[in-house]
């Protein structure tokens, strides 16, 4: 595993599952740069992650399996 972090929704500073996942994605980017292609399945086809992967200067190559009615 490249990244592992246990969290609880009951933690004082918990914001959302999306934010926790984004922390992991940023960890990977920090340590590996823009090498490789991010691949994601279920749940990553929401607007939050699509915006993160496509925002200006994101420079992340990615493949997300998405449902037609999701994005």
Q: What's the pTM value of the predicted model, to 2 decimals?
A: 0.77
pLDDT of residue 16: 95
pLDDT at residue 42 in the model: 77
Mean pLDDT over residues 36-45, rounded?
85
Q: Terminus-to-terminus CA distance in the chain, angstroms?
A: 29
**Which of 53, 42, 43, 45 shows the shortest CA–CA distance to 69?**
45
| Per-residue pLDDT reduced to its tens digit, 5-20 | 999 999 999 999 999 9
Q: Where are the domains of the chain?
A: 34-71
């Amino acid at each position: 595993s490249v990244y592992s972090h246990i969290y609880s929704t009951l933690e004082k500073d918990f914001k959302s599952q999306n934010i926790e996942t984004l922390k992991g994605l940023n960890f990977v980017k920090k340590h590996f740069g823009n090498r490789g292609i991010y691949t994601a399945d279920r749940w990553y086809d929401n607007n939050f992650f699509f915006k993160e992967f496509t925002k200006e200067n994101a420079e992340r190559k990615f493949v997300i399996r998405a449902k037609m009615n999701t994005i």
